[in-house]
C-alpha cells in the first residue's frame, strides 16, 4: 500500500499549514556567477527561516523525471502523480480558469497551417498572436452548429494554443489525437475507441470540418488540430483525504486550476508577488487550515534563461516572507514543484530545496537555504510525495499508527 493512503486513516484535527511554492526555484551552478540562483541571491529571511527548520531536498516526481507543473504540484499535495494523471486537455482547461464540470471532455487545440494538399506544414500556424487567436476562436464559436444536445466551448490559451470542451450526456474521451505525429502529414480523422467515444468522435469530426471551412480565408491559421482528450473528474479533495480546508492564492490560472482540482477555495487572482503575500495575510485565519501560495516568476525567469531576473525574483520573495512569519502558522513549508535551472532554460529533474518550519521540527544545522546546504539537512533527499505527510505530522494532524 502506498504510504499516502495510510495517512488518510490517521487524520485528526490540528494546526495550520502554509505552503509557499516558489515555482522552478531549484537551479544549477553558473560557474561565472559562482553559485546557483538561490546561492547568489541575497536571502536573509529564507536563511533565517532555514535556521529554525528541518531542511532537505525533494525529488518531486521520481528519479530523472522532469515534472510538469501538474504532476509536480500533485506530488507536493500528497497525490501520487503516477496514480493521479489528469490528461493534458483537462490541465489546459484548468490552466485558463475554465470551470470544468464532471464529465466534460476537454482537448488541447493548436491552430495550424495546411498546404494546398491539406498537409500540415506548420503545427503552430506561425505562432499567431494571442489576439488573433481570440478573434478566430470567437469566429468559430459563432459559426459552428453541432448536432447534439450539449454545449461546446472553444477558449484561447495563448499564441496558437486553445482548448475545446464538450459538455453533454454520454460523452467519451478515448479519442485519437487529430494532430499527426509529424509535419508533412494530413490531420488524422477523430477516432473513438469505445461506444461513447465513437459518438463523441463524430461530434468532433463535424466540429473540425466546420472549423476548417470557417478558417479557409486565413493564410496561416487555416486549420485546428486536437490532442490530449480527457474526461474531467475532480480528484478526491484535500478535505476528504486529509481534513484540510484549503485555499489557493495564485497569480497564474494553471495553479488556480490545480487548486480547484483538489477542492480548494480559489482566491481572486492577485496582481503580483506583493499582492499574493498581502492576500495571504488578509485571509489567514480560522476559516482554512491549508494555505497554498504559488509564485510563478522564478520559473518564468529560469525558462527565459535570465539569471539576474531569477535572482531578483527570489530576493523579492525573500523580502516578503516576514509577512508569512508574522502569521505564525503552525507549519510553514517553502519548496518548489520542480527545478528550472537558468542554464537549461527548462524544467528539470534536479531535486528541489525544502524547509519545514515548525515548533516541533527537528531543526538541523542548515543555515542557508539553497540546493547544497539542504543536502545536509535532517530530511535528506526524498520523494515529493512524502511532503504532505510530514506537513500534516508537524501540524499535529496525525494520530499514532497502531497501538
- Contacts with a second copy by CB under 8 A lie at 1, 3, 6-7, 10, 28-29, 57, 61-72, 81-83, 85, 88, 91-92, 95, 341, 343-344, 346-351, 360, 362-365, 371-372, 375-376, 378-382, 386, 388-394, 398-403
Least Å distance, CB 391 to a second copy, is 8
> Cell numbers 475507441 correspond to what residue?
193
SS3 121: strand
Residue 236: partners with Cβ closer than 8 Å, 6 or more residues away: none
Residue 158: partners with Cβ closer than 8 Å, 6 or more residues away: 130, 133
Q: Nearest Cα to 171, choosing from 146, 140, 203, 142? A: 203
Cβ count near 114 (within 10 Å): 19
C-alpha distances out from residue 220 to 144, 189, 282, 373, Å: 20, 21, 47, 51
Least Å distance, CB 161 to a second copy, is 11
The smaller minimum CB distance to a second copy, of residues 92 and 178, is found at 92
Cβ count near 8 (within 10 Å): 13
Least Å distance, CB 389 to a second copy, is 3
Tell me the Cα Rg of the chain: 23
Cβ count near 318 (within 10 Å): 20
Residue 184, phi-psi category: left (phi > 0), alpha (psi -120 to 50), beta (remainder): left
The smaller minimum CB distance to a second copy, of residues 84 and 148, is found at 84
Least Å distance, CB 403 to a second copy, is 4
Rounded distance between C-alpha atoms, residue 2 and residue 301, angstroms: 36
The smaller minimum CB distance to a second copy, of residues 220 and 357, is found at 357
The smaller minimum CB distance to a second copy, of residues 135 and 382, is found at 382
Rounded distance between C-alpha atoms, residue 34 and residue 96, angstroms: 38
Rounded distance between C-alpha atoms, residue 158 and residue 156, angstroms: 6
Least Å distance, CB 270 to a second copy, is 23
Rounded distance between C-alpha atoms, residue 27 and residue 329, angstroms: 28
C-alpha cell at 391: 506537513
Least Å distance, CB 284 to a second copy, is 23
Least Å distance, CB 139 to a second copy, is 27
Least Å distance, CB 299 to a second copy, is 13
The smaller minimum CB distance to a second copy, of residues 318 and 337, is found at 337
The smaller minimum CB distance to a second copy, of residues 121 and 343, is found at 343
Least Å distance, CB 289 to a second copy, is 16
The smaller minimum CB distance to a second copy, of residues 34 and 287, is found at 34
> Cell numbers 459518438 correspond to what residue?
199
Least Å distance, CB 320 to a second copy, is 27
Residue 279: partners with Cβ closer than 8 Å, 6 or more residues away: 249, 267, 270
Rounded distance between C-alpha atoms, residue 313 and residue 401, angstroms: 42
Rounded distance between C-alpha atoms, residue 66 and residue 72, angstroms: 9
Least Å distance, CB 222 to a second copy, is 26
The smaller minimum CB distance to a second copy, of residues 69 and 335, is found at 69
The smaller minimum CB distance to a second copy, of residues 18 and 392, is found at 392
The smaller minimum CB distance to a second copy, of residues 220 and 386, is found at 386
The smaller minimum CB distance to a second copy, of residues 265 and 359, is found at 359
C-alpha cell at 250: 495564485
C-alpha distances out from residue 120 to 116, 204, 211, Å: 10, 19, 15
Residue 169: partners with Cβ closer than 8 Å, 6 or more residues away: 149, 150
Amino acid at each position: 500500500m502506498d504510504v499516502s493512503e495510510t495517512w488518510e486513516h490517521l487524520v485528526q484535527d490540528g494546526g495550520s499549514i502554509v505552503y509557499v511554492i516558489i515555482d522552478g526555484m531549484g537551479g544549477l551552478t553558473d560557474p561565472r556567477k559562482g553559485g546557483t540562483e538561490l546561492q547568489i541571491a541575497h536571502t536573509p529571511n529564507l536563511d533565517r527561516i532555514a535556521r529554525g527548520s528541518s531542511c532537505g531536498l525533494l525529488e518531486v516526481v521520481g528519479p530523472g523525471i522532469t515534472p510538469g507543473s501538474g504532476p509536480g504540484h500533485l506530488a507536493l499535495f500528497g497525490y501520487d502523480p503516477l496514480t493521479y494523471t489528469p490528461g493534458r486537455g483537462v490541465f489546459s482547461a484548468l490552466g485558463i480558469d475554465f470551470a470544468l464540470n464532471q464529465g466534460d471532455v476537454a482537448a488541447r487545440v493548436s491552430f495550424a497551417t495546411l498546404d494546398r494538399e491539406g498537409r500540415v506544414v506548420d503545427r503552430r500556424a506561425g505562432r499567431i498572436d494571442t489576439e488573433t487567436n481570440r478573434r478566430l476562436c470567437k469566429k468559430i464559436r459563432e459559426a459552428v452548429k453541432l448536432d447534439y444536445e450539449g454545449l461546446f466551448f472553444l477558449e484561447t490559451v495563448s499564441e496558437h494554443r486553445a482548448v475545446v470542451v464538450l459538455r453533454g450526456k454520454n460523452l467519451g474521451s478515448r479519442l485519437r489525437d487529430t494532430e499527426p505525429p509529424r509535419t508533412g502529414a494530413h490531420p488524422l480523422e477523430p477516432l473513438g475507441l469505445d461506444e461513447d467515444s465513437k459518438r463523441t468522435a463524430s461530434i468532433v469530426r463535424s466540429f473540425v470540418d466546420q472549423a476548417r471551412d470557417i478558417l479557409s480565408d486565413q493564410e496561416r491559421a487555416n486549420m485546428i488540430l486536437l490532442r490530449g482528450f480527457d474526461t474531467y473528474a475532480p480528484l478526491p479533495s484535500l478535505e476528504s483525504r486529509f481534513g484540510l480546508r484549503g485555499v489557493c492564492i495564485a497569480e497564474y490560472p494553471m495553479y488556480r486550476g490545480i487548486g480547484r482540482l483538489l477542492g480548494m477555495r480559489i482566491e481572486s487572482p492577485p496582481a503580483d508577488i506583493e499582492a499574493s503575500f498581502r492576500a495571504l495575510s488578509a485571509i489567514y485565519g480560522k476559516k482554512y487550515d491549508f494555505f497554498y501560495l504559488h509564485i510563478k516568476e522564478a520559473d518564468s525567469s529560469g525558462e527565459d534563461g535570465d539569471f539576474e531576473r531569477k535572482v531578483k525574483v527570489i530576493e523579492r520573495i525573500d523580502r516578503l516572507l516576514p509577512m508569512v512569519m508574522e502569521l505564525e502558522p503552525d507549519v510553514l513549508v517553502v519548496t518548489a514543484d520542480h527545478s528550472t535551472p537558468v542554464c537549461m532554460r527548462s524544467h528539470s529533474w534536479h531535486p528541489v530545496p525544502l524547509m519545514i518550519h515548525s515548533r516541533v521540527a527537528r531543526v538541523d544545522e542548515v543555515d542557508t537555504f539553497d540546493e547544497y546546504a539542504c543536502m545536509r539537512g535532517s530530511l535528506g533527499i526524498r520523494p515529493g510525495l512524502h511532503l504532505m505527510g510530514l506537513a500534516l505530522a508537524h501540524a499535529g494532524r496525525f494520530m499514532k499508527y497502531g497501538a
